[in-house]
Amino acid sequence: MYGGGKNNKPRSAKIISYAGLLIPSLIVIYGILIQSGVIYSSHPVDDFGFLVFSFLWLFLGGLQYLFPSQSKLDSALRLIAYHLLAGSYLVFISGIFSPITVCWLILTVASFIYFRRIGFYLNILTFTFVVWSSALLWNRIYGLSPIYYLIVLLAVTITGFVFVAVSRYQEINKAELLESKAQESLQRDRVTTIVNNLADAVLSTDTDGIIRVYNAASLNLLDTNVSLNGKHLDEILPLTDQEGKDISIFKELKTAKTVVKRDDLNYAFDSDDKMRLEITFSPIRSSYSRSKKSETHDGYIIIMRDITKAKSLEEERDEFISVISHELRTPITIAEGTISNVQVMMKHPDATKKMMTDAVGVAHEQIQFLASMVNDLSTLSRAERGVSASAEEIDIKELAHELHKKYSDEAKQKNIHLNLDLSAKIDHVFESRLYLEELLQNLITNAIKYTKKGSVTIIVKQKNDVINLAIKDSGIGISKSDQQKVFGKFYRSEDYRTRESSGTGLGLYVAQKLAHKIGTKIILKSRLNFGSTFSISLPAKKQ
């Protein structure tokens, strides 16, 4: 029969196609039993008539089974044929008081399935006509009370009605089920989309720690493209704590009653490539849990984040604060002590003016030192926050001349020559002027500070598109072992000549930070007692 459109029901169509074959066979067998006298019928037809009937039934049944209907018209024609045959069979062969009448109900249900209410009413109308024809044809011979006919009519109609009602109820139930399934799948798709788009790695395991669900970020975090499904959590997540002790995350999960967060675990890619992880895990308690006991759960959810950078920054900051407070304490204590001495001296008649001047001089020196340290720190903080980082076109030649002019006097006071060595043609550069200037100033003041005699030279050369800026001095030089350390914060060489001048140990640290900010690096070349050269390279901006 018809298998498409709104009433397309492949399962019911299949049932009807089998019924279409079986019921005619049953009807034919029943007819043979009547014809052979095994079953009594009040009005059997002759053998030829029965043969025609049987042939038509089997033809229709075979047709229905082998070639299911393709269109609504086809279904309608077949249903009409079935109704005609069934009606004639009931009227002329079996009689409507035979058990085979029950088979009419199959036609009732099929009519409803394919043509809804219209089909149902037409079917009942046809049956009424069949009953009425039977009564008209045969009652004169058998003289049965009309009540019997009415009972058969009512029995088939009511049963047909019940069948149809049940089938409708099932249809509604099925529609509701489909709707709720669609809602559930939409909900699942929403959650999956959210989880897949999270920057954090999310894994879900069953109660045995076997991974069942994970998002794309998990693969990124673990730097793999191999499927994690079906793998044990401990297998893909070998972790160690801060003491290097192996940690089984699955064991941790099993002891977790609620949400647990740990940020002290390391994941090792290999022996010297480690990642610090923040792991949040929790048992999953589903409202549809198979076991209703509150202490049971359906697996675990694990959320992971790479905090290597954040942790190292945090540790660096803590260390920085502790070093700074230590470095500030000494000059503050000295300045505070000498000033309170001066206060005492002022009340004392024996204290000479020279004693007081010396003490004030010491305090002043310490305060100057503090000021230079605060200055370095504020440059550092500016560079780290990216303040004044906007790039601009800088005429390097002009900048070199400016710096030369600015520091010539300072050099002269120390009997040092400040030279300027410039190539004939130097292009401009495009960088943050403030950062570049502060960087060069730090290098020049150091060069002057750590040179006792000789010269300091500001060199600017260009080779192709690269401009090289260097500050060369003929000063005390830096030993090989110190060359690694001088860019560290608060580092000052142990050399007594360094200690002759005051310094914070922050100058080169800040200068290197500034160099990084403008995309370059300070290169140091030095020989102890022969001088040092600090240089940077910058890309030229073609004019």
Where does this chain bind ligand ADP (CB under 6 A)? Answer: 446-447, 450, 473, 475-478, 486, 491-493, 498, 503-509, 532
Min dist. Cβ of residue 479 to ligand ADP (A): 9
Name the minimum Å distance from CB 363 to ligand ADP.
Answer: 20
Report, in Å, the least distance between residue 350 CB and ligand ADP: 38
Which residues have C-beta within 8 Å of that of residue 504, sequence separation ≥ 6?
A: 327, 369, 372, 373, 376, 490
Distance CA 315, CA 276 (A): 13
User: CB of 515: closest distance to ligand ADP in angstroms?
Assistant: 13
Question: Looking at beta carbons only, is 299 or 505 nearer to ligand ADP?
Answer: 505
Measured between alpha carbons, how far is 430 from 541 in angstroms, rounded to an integer?
6
DSSP for 10-28 reads HHHHHHHHHHHHHHHHHHH
CA 6 to chain centre: 41
Residue 31 or 507 with smaller CB distance to ligand ADP: 507
Q: Pseudo-torsion of CA 168, 171, 173, 178, nearest 10°?
A: -160
3-class DSSP state of 180: helix
Nearer to ligand ADP, 274 or 453 (CB): 453
Nearer to ligand ADP, 86 or 470 (CB): 470
Least Å from the CB of residue 411 to ligand ADP: 13
Half-sphere CA count of 295, side-chain side, radius 13 A: 2
Q: Which is nearer to ligand ADP, 193 or 481 (CB)?
A: 481
**What's the one-letter identity of residue 191?**
V
CB nearer ligand ADP, residue 78 or residue 449: 449
Structure tokens that stand for 531 in this block:
């001088």
Q: Which amino acid is at 351?
A: A
The values of phi and psi at residue 274, to 5°, are: -115, 155
Angle between helices 104-142 and 72-89 (to 10 degrees): 30
Considering beta carbons, is residue 341 or 372 the nearer one to ligand ADP? Answer: 372
Kindly report the number of other CB atoms within 10 A of residue 392's CB atom: 11
Question: Cα 263 to the chain's mean position, in Å?
Answer: 20
**Which is closer to ligand ADP, CB of 275 or CB of 367?**
367
| CB of 132 or CB of 491, closer to ligand ADP | 491
Report the alpha-carbon distance of residue 411 to residue 401 in Å, rounded: 15
For residue 305 the two structure tokens come to: 């984040």
> Least CB distance from residue 539 to ligand ADP, whole Å?
26
Least distance in angstroms from the C-beta of 320 to ligand ADP: 15
Which of helix, strand or coil describes residue 361?
helix
Compute the least distance from the CB of residue 518 to ligand ADP, in Å: 18
CA angle 254, 258, 261 (to 5 degrees): 85
CB of 331 to ligand ADP, least distance (A): 13
Residue 526, strand partner residues? 532
Which residues lie closer than 8 Å to 9 by C-beta, 6 or more apart? 113
- Comparing CB distances to ligand ADP, the nearer of 3 and 507 is 507
Q: In angstroms, give the least distance from the CB of 508 to ligand ADP.
A: 3
Could you tell me if residue 37 is left (phi over 0), alpha (psi between -120 and 50 degrees) or otherwise beta? left
